[in-house]
Structure formats: structure tokens, C-alpha cells
Structure 1
Amino acid sequence: MSEFAEVLAALRQVRGINPFFALDVGRPDDSWLPGTALLEGPALKDTIDAIATRYNAGEPRVAASLFFLSYTARLLSPLTATNLPIDVRPSNLWWHHDRATGLSVRIDVPQLGPRPVEALAPVVEAVHAVVPVARGLLWGNAMSNIAGALKMVVRAGVLTAEEAEERGNQLMTAPPFEGAGEFIPFPGEVTFLRRSCCLYYRVAAGGKCGDCPLVK
């Protein structure tokens, strides 16, 4: 099987888990932007500003966190489920933000690439350059999405809870996920507690997430 076919088949196999696992492929219409627009130009700042308006987030760092939380959820969910290093570098992405429906992301070519950490690092730096939100918080958002994806993968019967926790713990043996949180043993379920907070509780209608360290 060719790499192209392998990646397509893997993405098709997991897209039914839930909408966050459905990563589309191919060039979309002209309303979408290339992934490289995340790294230069006004599009990223404009999108973060739009998120701040949509959620009535008075602090720019909150909107920046919500952007990266959404961005990584749409990329890391299918990558976690397939367990393949699918190429999600900005150079192989298209993205679109709509004030009503939020963020959408798709890949251009179904191919393998560098580790997701390497693909995400330039976007972390771009977000930090626009809004000085802590890098550790952004990487915590990514790890939270990986843990959430593992929970859904277990519920779909793809992995056991033990296998999912092992996969997650392996990620947290090295930066930038080292010390991002911990998996809490619970029979048949993936339970994760992160060490940073995504700040969602600071939006007007927000609250604390299930893996939030502020939940007592």
C-alpha cells in the first residue's frame, strides 16, 4: 500500500468516532486560507480577536488559548486514533474560521510527516508572538486534547484503557509534554488531570473542564 493510500485509509477508519476525528483531505474553496497564513500576516490575530468577541473574552490570552485548543483538537484527535505521524505542518494544511461555526482544519496531501510536536511548534510560537500566552499552557491544551482523544478511542473499542494510558504516558516522558499532567487510574476509562488551565472558565459563559487542575 502506498503512503498516500495508507494515510487515507487510516483517516477513514477513525473519522466516525466523533466529528473531531473527521480530518478532511484536499484543497477546499477560496474561503479557506493556507496553513502558512497562521505564521505570517494578520489572519491569526484577526481570528483570535474574532474568538474573543464570540466568547466575550476580555483577556486576549484567553482567546489565544481557545484558538489553540480548537486547532489541536481537530488535528490531534485523528492523529492519536490512527497512531500515525500524519503531516499536519502548516505547509500541508488549510484552515477556515467562521464567527458562527468556529474553526475548521483540513490537510492538503495525505502523507506522513514529522512528529506532531514538530508540526505544532511553529504555531505555538506564532500564537505566543501575537498574544503573550504561556507556551506551557498551549502545550497543556494539546496534551489535554490527546487525553480526550484517547478517552474517545477507548469508548469506541479501538484500545483498552490500559493501552491508551500507556500511549499517553509515553508522550509525557519528554518535552514539551513532560509534566503536562497525569493519568488517574479508573477501571475501563481514561481519566486525565492536567497541570495547567486552558482559561475557559474566564469567558462570560465558561466553566471548568473535566481535567482542569482548578476543580476541587
Structure 2
Amino acid sequence: MVLLPVVDLDPELAALRPLGGFFVLRTDGAAALPTLAEAYGTAPPDGHRDPLAARVEVVAERLRTPESRVAASLAQQGLAARLWSAALGCAVLYGRLPDLGPRLLRWDPLGSAPDDLWLTDVRPLPGEPDLVAGVLHGHLEPLGETLTARYGLAAGLLWGNAGSALAGAARELDRWARANGRRDVADRTRTLTDALFTHPLLRTTGTRTGTAFRRRSCCLYYRVPGGGVCGDCCFTRPPRSSPNAASG
């Protein structure tokens, strides 16, 4: 087992900045933005525009897709990538996690990609980094339940998105580590990612070979006008099938 060093979390989480935009957590301002807890609600939050619906609309408009379920899938995958990246980056570089609870993370649903996230209070969690509790159960489960209830997206598709997002975050962190002579970071990334993919909700999402990943489902990007299949898609070419194809 690769032991993680424990480094104090600085108030700005500055160690994440060199990793790129998917990993960075902002820690200043954004008090007027909705929290992710509000976004995960199955009904629109009182007193606010529904942030999740707003994000799906933004993605649909930018990708020029009339299918809300396609936009919802891609919005979920983008947010999953941000959450996995920030949490994995903290776990590897600091050896600990801040509290990433949905009530502490604020989100700009109208922002650009990658999604803008603000952590309103950097509170170190005790013990070893637990990304299953912090990301999988804390965020991806409630987000997935809401998207299934609202847009009819299959759980298998959404967990496939989550597995793809995790593999992508790990691959980018590994790439950065090797480019910067940080074999220790690459080793820690691999150890944590291997452990995460043993979880029942992620274990069957795809096949891994090194940092490569081939998922067993499709995010529906091929249904975007001008879209095709992603590099880790279960398809080798866009399918010609019904709107509900590859949803599981």
C-alpha cells in the first residue's frame, strides 16, 4: 500500500492550481450562487431558480441538442469530472480531504466548462481520505437519483459517466505527475483509483488497462448534432438506433 503524506490544507488549496482547471476549487466569494445541495433536490429549491435545470438548459443550448436527456447526461458527466478531480487531487497532494459536502460547495450553473466550483469553508476531515463517502455517496448518488427522476436517465448510464469521469481524472493526474517527475503522485493516484474501482457501483462500469478505460455504456454524446463517440465509449461508431439505445 502507498502511504499518503499528510500536509496541512492551506486556505486557498493552492496545490491544486498547477493541475489545471478540472482540479481547482475556488475558495473566495460566490456567496450568491446556489449550493450543490440545492441542485440535487428533486424539486426546485424555494426562492431560487432551479440550478440543475438551468445547467441542463445551458448544456443543451451550447451543444445545440433538443434532447434534454442528452444534455442532462453530459451535464452530469462534466460535474462528476470536476468532483472526482478536485477530491482525488486533494487526497493525493495533501493526503487528506476537506469537507466537500454539498452544502459547502457552490456552483455556477450558467458558467463555462469545466464547471466552476467554490468551497465556502476549507474544513479538514479527520482520518484517511474517503472519496467513496465524499464524492460517490455525498454527490453522485443524490445527483443521479435526481436526474433519473427528472429526465429518465438510466442508472447504468449515469454510473458509466461517473466511472469515465474518475478514469479521466486519474489519467490527467498521472500525466501531470509523470511530466513533473512526481512518481510518488502517480503511485498514489493509481492506488486510490484502483481502490475506488472496486466499489460495486463503479466496478462494472468499464474495463481498465493501466490508465486507459473502456466503458460499458454510452453517455449519448453521439446524439449531439455533429457529435460522435467518445474515446472510451462502448461503441466504435455512432449507433443507428432508437432514442433509448445505450441508456443502460
Q: Give the alignment's TM-score, normalised by structure 1.
A: 0.83
Q: Which residue of 2 aligns with 1:16?
A: 18
In the alignment, the residues of structure 2 paired with residue 14 and residue 159 of structure 1 have an alpha-carbon distance, to the nearest angstrom, of: 17
Q: Which residue of 2 aligns with 1:117?
A: 136
Q: Which residue of 2 aligns with 1:146?
A: 166
Structure 2 residue 183 is matched with structure 1 residue 171: no
Moved more, 159-168 or 129-138: 159-168
How many residues end up aligned between the 2 structures?
Answer: 206
In the alignment, the residues of structure 1 paired with residue 227 and residue 8 of structure 2 have an alpha-carbon distance, to the nearest angstrom, of: 40
Q: Which residue of 2 aligns with 1:49?
A: 57
8 A Cα contact 1:195 1:212, kept in partner: yes
In the alignment, the residues of structure 2 paired with residue 197 and residue 86 of structure 1 have an alpha-carbon distance, to the nearest angstrom, of: 32
Stretches of structure 1 lacking an aligned partner (at least 5 in a row):
none
Structure 2 residue 214 is matched with structure 1 residue 212: no
**Aligned pairs (5 A) from 1:32-181:** 32-38=33-39, 39=41, 40-41=43-44, 42-83=50-91, 84-98=96-110, 101-102=112-113, 103-112=115-124, 114-120=133-139, 121-157=141-177, 158-159=182-183, 164-181=189-206
Query: Is the partner of 1:213 in helix, strand or coil?
Result: coil
- How high is the sequence identity, in percent, across the aligned residues? 30
Q: Which amino acid aligns with 1:119?
A: G
8 A Cα contact 1:27 1:94, kept in partner: no
TM-fit CA distance, 1:17:
1.2
Over 3 Å counting, the alpha-carbon distance change for 1:76 and 1:8 in structure 2 is farther
In the alignment, the residues of structure 2 paired with residue 200 and residue 48 of structure 1 have an alpha-carbon distance, to the nearest angstrom, of: 14
Moved more, 116-125 or 76-85: 76-85
Backbone CA RMSD of aligned residues: 2.4
Query: Is the partner of 2:99 in helix, strand or coil?
Result: coil
Query: Is the partner of 1:8 in helix, strand or coil?
Result: coil
Q: Give the alignment's TM-score, normalised by structure 2.
A: 0.73
In the alignment, the residues of structure 1 paired with residue 134 and residue 153 of structure 2 have an alpha-carbon distance, to the nearest angstrom, of: 23
